Structure 1
Amino acid sequence: MPAVETSAVVYRPFTAADIPAAHALSVEVKWPHRADDWRFVLDAGGGFIAQDGERVVGTALCWKHGDDGGSLGMVIVAPDSQGKGIGRRLMELLLEALGSRITVLHATPAGEPLYTKLGFRRIGAVNQHQSADFCVPSIDLRRGERIRAIEPHDTPTLVVLASRASGFDRSAVLPALLKVAQGVLIERDGQTLGFALIREFGRGHAIGPVVAITGDDEHIRHAQALIAHLLAGNEDRFTRIDTPDESGLSEWLAAAGLPRVDTVIKMARNGTPPQDASVAQFAIINQGLG
């Protein structure tokens, strides 16, 4: 895709060579992402850079989830370059790349008016919880239930569950995530009831996604048991989890010493991801991939 020039600013595809500049830009706006976090999200998708002379002044990434779904994020404009239409142009380039896909993003209140003008509407919210000073909750397992480490042969089952829970095709992103994450699943008599992943991110670690089957009304306990298991292996380490507001986990997380530090608005364009009531997502991968 050729570069596009608007006055002094050139817009071009994001490449791996741009990661150091993108990381520096995220540090400038006080985002926690490491260079490795940028590398993972770029490998999973693609995007654009806004460049003013030799300086990168804007970034934006998007991800295609199968033929019908998409998401976008990592939209940053340097503080001294804001108000010049750079963010809007980067968004327009992403939307052109995603086409008619159902597209989701997570917006700050300040960003919501722009996204509304671009055809997005509010469909929910996500609460960000984090701390290094947490207590591991005690969650009892029922007879026949056990939590074990995820093994390679579990991947197809986890892809199906993650896809049903998110409404997006996870056949590409989940195997990529499993290469950089560790995880556990909960099962009863050999049936997988849910799973959760943890990976290095930012100041420490991030938990997500967390998914549980809802059929027997035990899904909240299963999600809590999975999260508690991962927290137990991460005591005294900074841990973050982004949970959908409708999951009902925020109060429980706060009581465990993981306070809510932020809330972002979930918005969608071209419809909403299909909902499967038999599976619930209790934590997202991140605010870009959903």
Structure 2
Amino acid sequence: MQEQTASQFTLRPLGETDLAACHRLSLALKWPHSLEDWQFIYQLGNGFAIERRSDGQPPALVGSALCWRFGNAYATLGMVIVQAAQQGLGLGRQLMEQLLQELGSRNIMLHATPAGQPLYEKLGFAATGKLHQHQGSAMQSPLIPLPAGERIRPLGVNDIARLQALDARATGMDRSQLLAALNDVAEGVAIDRDGEMLGFALVRRFGHGRVIGPVIAPDAVHAKALISHWINTYAGSFIRIDVPDASGLSEWLSEIGLTRVDTVIAMLKGAPAKKDPGLQLYSLINQALG
């Protein structure tokens, strides 16, 4: 086998024309993302690619990494992939160092596999919790009763500002641009009490099914009511949901037929965001965006 050298690899900005190759990288890892999922997240951030050059062959994309900014203080990063045949050459570290340089002094969040955690720790990230991925072709979920005077209703065209405000309180970050983009591709419901929005849940197509998230609610009972609404709406369809361990929802999701298939580590470089203790993010948009 021909020995590989650093001169064979080029680190450069990721372009929209690279997304089909990025999709092939993620398929090799058995990630469920469709090409449309890649296109959606790419439009909201930016990233870098590593391509390999071999004599007589066109350049081949062998690595990717993306990041997303939320105001001037926070960011997330993800979709860090290095082709299996090129691992062990330091390419993942090169991608990460380029992203960190790109994001500057922002406080940065990511979700790491156990295999990737040591590299992220060397780059200054610390573990803050766990995230559980649940999925399955959901059966009917028991209805969760709400207190008197509260109801679940569809989101309307005039609700986006309230979504953005609740999300900012629950996450401590300005994700208004992200919520506006999600609003264009997702269905949503809110819990309403006398015209006040207490929480909401979005669902959208993802991979070969749908993903529920984000889910923002004042407590676990309201979060379960929102999640149950979408599970029952799409009973029998493939559903995915990513919930923080601190949400306390993982065991309940398993009980209603959504199997826990993976657990990753939430990590942070910098200071945590200041969140409203009266609201919580019960389900993520996805592991990359948070």
Alignment TM-score > 0.5, same fold? yes
Q: CA deviation at 1:6?
A: 4.7
Counterpart pick for 1:55 among 48, 56, 60: 60
Letter in 2 for 1:62: C
CA contact (8 A) 2:138 2:239 kept: no
Deviations 1:3-49 (A, max 9, x none): xx952111111111001100011111111100000001100100001
Aligned to 2:56: none
Letter in 1 for 2:181: A
Aligned to 1:152: 157
Aligned to 2:120: 115
Letter in 2 for 1:23: H
Does structure 1 residue 232 correspond to structure 2 residue 237? Answer: no
Alpha-carbon RMSD across the aligned residues, in angstroms, is 1.2
Question: SS state of the match for residue 287, structure 1?
Answer: coil
Runs of 4+ in structure 1 over 6 Å off: none
CA contact (8 A) 1:160 1:170 kept: no
TM-score scaled by structure 1?
0.95
Question: SS state of the match for residue 41, structure 1?
Answer: helix
Question: SS state of the match for residue 246, structure 2?
Answer: helix
Q: CA deviation at 1:112?
A: 0.4
Q: CA deviation at 1:151?
A: 1.0
Does structure 1 residue 130 correspond to structure 2 residue 135? Answer: yes
Question: SS state of the match for residue 60, structure 1?
Answer: strand
Aligned to 1:87: 92
Aligned to 1:23: 23
Distance in 2 separating the partners of 1:133 and 1:284: 18
Distance in 2 separating the partners of 1:288 and 1:137: 30
Counterpart pick for 1:169 among 174, 191, 206: 174
Q: CA deviation at 1:203?
A: 2.1
Q: CA deviation at 1:143?
A: 1.7
CA contact (8 A) 1:147 1:226 kept: yes
Aligned to 1:269: 269
CA contact (8 A) 1:209 1:285 kept: yes
Does structure 1 residue 99 correspond to structure 2 residue 104? Answer: yes
How many correspondences in the alignment?
281
Question: SS state of the match for residue 58, structure 1?
Answer: strand
Q: CA deviation at 1:167?
A: 2.3
Aligned to 1:68: 73
Question: SS state of the match for residue 251, structure 2?
Answer: helix
